[in-house]
Amino acid sequence: MQKLFSRSFALALVLLSAPCSAAELTLFISNAVITVMQDLAPRFEQATGHKLSITYGSTNPTKARIEKGEAFDLTLLGNDAIDDLVKQGKLVAATRTVVARSGLGVAVRKGSVKPDVGTVDGFKRTLLDAKSVAYLPDGLTGAYLKVMFERLGITDAIRAKYKGARGAEAVAAGEAELGVTQLSEILHEKGTDLAGALPSEIQNYTNFSAAVATGAKQPDAAQALLKYMVSPDAARVMRANGLEPQ
């Protein structure tokens, strides 16, 4: 009953803040929240009559698209990218909203034996024993892993078995033995299991924020979506998909 009340209340808030006419929103959204948006988007569309056109991608390449001038109404990316885009005048500073954070984990093929990733030594040994390791080099995860591998002294060993692909997808497709990526992405991929989160000593949390584009064609509808993203209903969905609402 409480969950039903929270959901109804959140949708009511969206309806009250939504403009009278339906709009089509163009969104640039981080891969880390694909599962969340697949759940929330239809609910938002049904409640408001708005339509969401969503392009998913890693934070850094998506930021580059925005900097090149592609049109959109709202984006949800890593905090640093959002802040930089605000400074560039691409996003409305007053709309910047912290949404959630996500940690990193290790993906293995569904049904396979889960390796030890619970300690730093176990994680390091698991990577060295693996035949292949997949992660995206140009996203926030890749930037962090590059530094972390150097700290662990395994850069050369990883380079010899590295697969440049989305970690969970590559594992599910049989293209890599292990994938290192956002926990939310691993839980989203049906062909993978979560071996575990990275040990606390080397865990890295990415904070995600959303903001309305300076040149948004549908700013009111985008603001309504922002409110829904931080509603109790959205928080419940985020927790179920490996994200920590903020």
Residues of CATH 3.40.190.10 domain(s) within the chain? 2-102+206-245, 104-197
From residue 95, give the alpha-carbon distance in Å to each of 26, 90, 108, 110, 117.
16, 12, 38, 40, 39
- C-alpha to C-alpha distance for 207 and 226, rounded to whole angstroms: 16
Residue 42: how many other CB atoms lie within 10 Å: 11
pLDDT of 9 reads 47
Say what the pTM is: 0.76
Question: Facing residues of 25 across strands?
Answer: 52
Task: Name the fold adopted by 104-197.
Answer: D-Maltodextrin-Binding Protein; domain 2 (3.40.190)
* Structure tokens, 57: 């991608």
What CATH class does 2-102+206-245 carry? alpha beta
Q: Tell me: the pLDDT tens digits for 112-170?
A: 999 999 999 999 999 999 999 999 987 778 889 999 999 999 999 999 999 999 899 99
What is the 3 state secondary structure string of 137-204?
CCCHHHHHHHHHHHHHCCHHHHHCCEEECCHHHHHHCCCCCEEEEEHHHHHHCCCEEEEEECCCCCCC
User: Does the pLDDT at position 11 exceed 80?
Assistant: no
Q: Tell me: the pLDDT tens digits for 232-245?
A: 999 999 998 889 99
Q: Name the DSSP letter for residue 213.
A: B
